[in-house]
Amino acid sequence: MGINRWWYAAIVVMCAQLAGCDAMKGLMGKETEEEETDTEVDKDKGEDEEPKAKTKGLDAEDNDKEIVAQVKGVLACEWGQFGFSFKCEAFKQWNEKRDLKGKDETFVNFLEDEREQVRFLGASAIAFHGDAYRNKDELAKRVVEAAKAESNVVVAPPMGNAVGRINGKGTKTQDELKNLASSHKLVELRRNVVGSLLLENKELYDFVKGLAKTDKDESVRVEATRSLVFGTPEGQESTSCAFWLDLLGDASQEVAGTAASGLSIFRPFRDNGCVNQFDAMLTKIEGFAKAGTVKNFQLASSLHNVHRHSGATEDHKKKALAVAKTLVENKSNEGFPRARALAFIGEVDPGAKAYAQRFKNDDDFSVKRQAEDIIAGKGFKATPEETRVSTKPVPGKVEPAKTEPTSQPTSQPTAQPTAKPTSAPSGVRIPIFKPKQ
């Protein structure tokens, strides 16, 4: 009987223990199921609330909403191989805007858009209106990266202009700016980087001179040569004058003509420009005129520039006029520079009408027409090219070039076609350059 009681008690304890184990197992199983259920809910919730990919370009969330609305209107305009059509009213209005200062972040966003139209508008606007991006590291580096990636020839000019205005030393992008200027795949971009580089990066003076002397592309050499007019650092004026005089003998007359222009119009406030080089310059141009090898009109217009230079002596003026006559009279020289030299004579020589009679039946139409205008006493205006090389460029303005279809608007740069009259064909009337007072 005692044994049976103990056995019964053992069975009860074992059952209680087993019941407890099963209960614990059941409880643990329930908690595990709840954990799995919670994990699945969290997973589903995470999938539902996955953050959206950050928008960029025109759709960037931090863009100026008013600017975005205006740009969307411009995007409805016709876009062709030369950019937006000036016939579109929305583009006209955008191009005339003056209240775009302080919008650098928005315009930098535009540079990252996949559409070349948006990049073009952003680059043009920031090149002309931008300021903060030039010295702000993050913005400057984004502009540099956009320029590296650019592959559209219409966007390239304003993009190059914009990136060239960055303070390379201050934003630690100087090496990248040099690479863009010397080796970017688009010469249209390189040319415009070079044209604006010295406005903010005087320490790259020697680098730009090197491009003017040895770059593989003639148009880049021309732009580098021209950029010294307003990019020469203080204390380097005589260096630039000597450099231009050396380039006057360059095998490329595009480069030589641009150098002559630099010599004749350079008038820094600190001294009298390149007056000390005038005698040597006039002698060189006289040699070209006698040899009948003058092809670039700037060799002729530089004679006029010397004549009206405030530091020119009477001997300089007389020599410039005499060289102009030599250039006109030698018909082996091309018609465009001959006509430009004749226009100079028509303005400054009291005997110009009688002199022009000799050329009223000239074989070259442009010379013939210029002679007729002088005889008739007609007035003249500056050619687009002379206006461009003889007045200080607007920061951010896209400069035209041989193969680059651009225009010269009053505010922002565009991509409309503009000819570059360096060695113009026969039949072009040559107006006289009248300097601003």
C-beta of residue 87 within 8 angstroms of C-beta of residue 78? yes
β-bridge mates for residue 80, sequence order: 83
d(CA 24, CA 420): 92
Average pLDDT of the segment spanning 254-277: 89
At residue 378, the pLDDT reads: 82
Q: How confident is the model at residue 395 (pLDDT cuts 50, 70, 90)?
A: very low
pLDDT, position 98: 82
Task: Decide if 293 contacts 417 (C-beta within 8 A).
Answer: no
Of 379 and 238, the one with more pLDDT = 238
Determine the pLDDT at residue 8: 43
* Residue whose token pair is 């580089």: 197
Would you say residue 36 has pLDDT above 60?
no
Q: Look at residue 380 in the predicted model and tell me its pLDDT.
A: 54
CA quadruple 77, 82, 83, 87: dihedral sign? negative
Of residues 435 and 185, the one with the higher pLDDT is: 185
| CA angle, residues 117, 118, 119, in degrees to nearest 5 | 95
Instruction: Answer for the pair 374, 341: CB distance below 8 angstroms, yes or no.
Output: no
Mean pLDDT value across residues 30-43 = 49
Residue bearing the bigger pLDDT, 431 or 4: 4
The pLDDT tens digits of the residues spanning 134-173 come to 999 999 999 999 999 999 999 999 999 999 999 999 999 9
pLDDT beyond 90 at 416: no
Question: Taking Cα atoms as reference points, which of 57, 161, 55 lies closest to residue 116?
Answer: 57
Q: Are 342 and 374 in contact (CB under 8 A)?
A: yes
Q: In the predicted model, is pLDDT for residue 264 greater than 70? A: yes
The residue type found at 318 is K
Q: Is 328 exposed, middle or buried (0-12, 13-18, 19+ CB in 10 A)?
A: buried
- What integer pLDDT is reported at residue 7 of this predicted model? 42
HSE value, Cβ hemisphere, 13 Å, CA-based, for 170: 15
Residue written as token pair 């959206």: 52
Condensed to tens digits (0 to 9), the pLDDT of residues 9-23 reads 444 444 444 344 444
- Give the least confident one: 32-46, 242-256, 322-336, 411-425: 411-425
Average pLDDT over residues 79-97: 92
Within the chain, which residue ranges are assigned CATH 1.25.10? 56-231+384-417
Distance CA 48, CA 359 (A): 84
Q: How far is CA 415 from CA 80, 92, 386, in A?
A: 10, 13, 20
DSSP string for 288-347: HHHHT----HHHHHHHHHHHH-TT--HHHHHHHHHHHHHHHH-TTS-HHHHHHHHHHHHH
Q: What is the pLDDT of residue 14?
A: 43
Spatial distance between the Cα atoms of 98 and 82, rounded to a whole number of angstroms: 23
* Percent of the residues in the chain that have a pLDDT greater than 70, as a whole number: 73
Percent of the chain with pLDDT over 90: 69
Confidence bin at 111 (pLDDT 50/70/90): very high
Q: Are 338 and 348 in contact, with CB atoms under 8 Å apart? A: no
Residue 418 pLDDT level (bands cut at 50, 70, 90): very low
Rounded CA gap, 84 and 74, in Å? 8
How many residues are recorded in the chain?
437
Residue 349 binned pLDDT confidence (cut-offs 50, 70, 90): very high
Check: CB of residue 299 under 8 Å from CB of residue 253: yes
Supply the mean pLDDT for the chain.
82
pLDDT for position 169: 96
pLDDT band at residue 270 using 50, 70 and 90 as cut-offs: low
CATH number attached to the domain at 56-231+384-417: 1.25.10
Give the residue-averaged pLDDT of 365-392: 70
User: What b-and-e string marks burial along 256-286, b requiring 16 or more CB atoms within 10 Å of the CB?
Assistant: bbbbbbbbbbbeeeeeebbbebbeebbebbb
Residue 182: closest CA among 134, 240, 133, 224: 224
